[in-house]
Structure 1
Amino acid sequence: MTSSNTTWVIKLGGALLNSPQSVQALFATLATMTDTRFVVVHGGGSLVDRWLHDAGFATAKHQGLRISPAEQMPYIVGALAGCANKQLMGAAIANGLEPAGLSLYEAGVNAQQKLKALGRVGECSQGARSAIPALLEVGKLPVVSSVGFDEQGQWFNVNADEAAAAIAKQLDGELIFMTDVEAVLDKSAQPLHQLSAEQIDELIAQGVISGGMEVKVKTSLLAAQHLRRGVYISSWQKPENLVALLNGEHVGTQITM
C-alpha cells in the first residue's frame, strides 16, 4: 500500500454526471478513506454536448478532442466550471466531505493553444503557484474542472485526462482515470490488466484502441513516463476499485512505461 502522505489524483469521466447514484457512491467511498488525500479532476463532455445542442451549435471532434470555437466557449466553460463542477461539489458535501471548486489556474496549471484548427482547445503548461497543497492541508477536497487560462487570461478547453496528468505530476501523486469501462479491452473485448508502450502502439495500429480511449491511453502513458510509475484506468461504476487500488490490489488496467 502507498504511503498515507501520497496524494491520489482521480480523473472522473464526464459520463459519470449522467448517473447521480454513481456520483454519490463514489464520494461515499472517498469519505470512508479519511487517511488519504484526494484531488478530483473532471471533464463533462456529455453535458457540454447537451448545452451546445440546446444553444443551436454543431459539435465536432478531431482525434478524440472537441473542436472549441471562441463563440462556444461561454457554454463550454459554463458547463464544465459551473454546472459539472458544482454537481460534483454538491455530491461531495452530501457525503460529509469539504470540496473546493477550482479551475486549472488555481491548481497551478496554465493553458496554451494546442492547434489553431481546434480553436480554444488548450494544452497544459507550467503555471503559477498551486492552491492545492494548502487546501489539502486543511482537509479540503479539491474538485478541479478542465477549464484553463493562458497568461493573457483567455479561456481554454483542456482535455481532462491531460489536466489530471499535469496535476498528478505537479503533486508527485498517484493517478487513476475513472472511466465508464472496467479496463482497456483487447480485440476480443477482454480486459487487459497491464499495457506497455509497445502494446499500446500495436493496439492503436490495429484499430483496437481508438477515439477517446486512444487519447486516454496515450495520456496515461505520458503520465506514467513523467511520474515514473504506473497509471491506472478503472471504472467509476465500481467505486470499490478505489479501495482495492489503495490497498495495493490490481484492478482495471495499469499503464506502464
Structure 2
Amino acid sequence: MKVVKLGGSLLEQPEKLNALFQSLKQHEDEIVLVHGGGSLVQQWLSTAGLHSEKQSGLRVSPEPHMSYIVGGLAGAANKILMKQAIASGLKPIGLTLYEAGVNCVRQSESLGQVGLCQVSSTEPVPALLADLLMHGYLPIISSIGFGENGEWFNVNADDAAVAVAATYNADLLLITDVEAVLDGSGSPLSHLNSESIQQLTQAGVIKDGMEVKVRGALSAAKRLRRCVRIGSWNVMNNPFSGTQISE
C-alpha cells in the first residue's frame, strides 16, 4: 500500500489533479489518498465572519469553528477530489481518519479542537481500507479525526498522512506543486538526509515553504523508519523522480 498526501494547492489546479488521477488508473499499487485544504477552510471561516489564527503553523480550532472546518475539509475539499476522481474513471470513496482506524486526542487546550493522531502497535489493523481496495475503490481521507468519545478534531494533513502510513506500514509520498527539492542552481535533488537538510537550510537554499515540507518529510521518515518521497504528481509513475528523504 502507498499513502499519498495531497497538498491543498492541488485543489485549485484541476489540470494537475486530472493528471494525477489518470496516473493512478495505471498504477499497480494499492493507493490511499490523504488531504487537507487550509485555503478552502479559510474561505469558509471568512465567509462566516469568523476570525482564524494560527499557532506554530496550526490553525486554532475552537468548537464554534469546527462545523465550518469539518465542512471545508471532509465536505467540500473531499468532494472536489471525489468529483475529479470520478471524472477520471476511478471509484473514490470519502472517509475521515476514524474510518481508517486512526484515533485522535486533543493536542492542547490553547489550540482548541486540533487533534493529535494516535497509532497503536498492539491493535489489529482495521479491515475497512483493505476491503475497499480489494473491491477497486480509491479511499480519499480528509484530515478530520475523532476521539474515543466522539469529539471531532482538525488534524494537520501531513501528520494525518504519517499516521495512516504508520497504521498500515505503508510507503508515504508527499505530492506538492513542485517537481522536487531544488539545489542552489535550481536543479532537482534526488536524495536528502538529516545532515544535508541541515546544511542546505543553514545556507538558505532550502527555505520558507519548502523548508516546512522537507522537515515534515524528514520527521515522517524518522517515525516510519523508511524513506519518504516528495515531489509533483508524476512521482507516482516515476520512482526516480522527486526527492527521497531519509534519516
Asked if these proteins are the same fold (TM beyond 0.5), I'd say yes
Gaps of at least 5 residues in structure 2 are none
Deviation at 1:218, TM superposition (A): 3.0
- Among residues 137, 140, 152, which one is paired with 1:155 in the alignment? 152
**Preserved contact between residue 99 and residue 140 of structure 1 (Cα < 8 Å):** yes
1:65 positional shift: 1.8
Partner of 1:117: 110
Partner SS state of residue 244, structure 1: coil
Partner of 2:16: 22
Q: Which amino acid aligns with 2:244?
A: Q
Once residues 108 and 217 of structure 1 are traced to their aligned partners in structure 2, the CA distance between those partners, rounded to angstroms, is 27
Asked if residue 138 in structure 1 is aligned to residue 135 in structure 2, the reply is yes
TM-score, normalised by the number of residues in structure 2? 0.89
Q: Determine the structure 2 residue equivalent to 1:3.
A: none
Could you report, residue by residue, the CA deviation over 1:38-75 in whole angstroms, capped at 9, with x for unpaired residues? 00101011111111111112222222222222211111
Is it true that 1:40 corresponds to 2:37 in the alignment?
no
Q: Which amino acid in the other structure matches residue 97 of structure 2? A: L
Contact 1:64/1:211 (<8 A) preserved:
no
* 2:132 maps to amino acid: L
* Most deviating of 171-180 and 189-198: 189-198
**2: distance between equivalents of 1:215 and 1:108?**
27
What is the aligned partner in structure 2 of residue 63 from structure 1?
56
Deviations 1:212-238 (A, max 9, x none): 544433332232223332101102xxx
SS of the residue aligned with 1:89? Answer: helix
CA contact (8 A) 2:119 2:166 kept: no
1:73 corresponds to: 66
Q: Percent identity?
A: 51
**DSSP-derived class of the 1:217 partner:** helix
1:253 aligns with 2:246: no
Describe the superposition over 1:62-118 as per-residue Cα deviations: whole angstroms up to 9, x where unpaired.
Answer: 222222222111111001001111111111111121111100000011111223222
**How far apart are residue 208 of structure 1 and its match?**
5.4
In 2, Cα distance between equivalents of 1:204 and 1:158: 27
Question: What residue in structure 2 maps to residue 4 of structure 1?
Answer: none
Task: Name the structure 2 match of 1:194.
Answer: 191
Residue-by-residue CA offset, 1:15-39 (whole Å, 9 max, x unaligned): 1111122212211111122x22100
2:83 aligned with 1:90: yes
Q: Does the 8 A contact of 2:104 with 2:147 survive in 1?
A: yes
Instruction: Report the secondary structure of 1:181's partner residue.
Output: coil
Per the normalisation by structure 1, the TM-score is: 0.86
- Quickly say closer, same or farther: Cα 1:55–1:207, change in 2 above 3 A: farther
Structure 1 residue ranges without an equivalent (≥5): 1-6
Match of 2:177 among 180, 192, 197: 180
Q: Indicate conservation of the 8 Å contact 1:9/1:176, yes or no.
A: yes
- Equivalent pairs counted in the alignment come to 243
Instruction: Name the SS for the 2:238 alignment partner.
Output: helix
Residue 75 and residue 207 in structure 1: after superposition, are their counterparts in 2 closer, same or farther (change >3 A)? Answer: farther
| Cα distance in 1 between the residues matched to 2:209 and 2:52 | 15
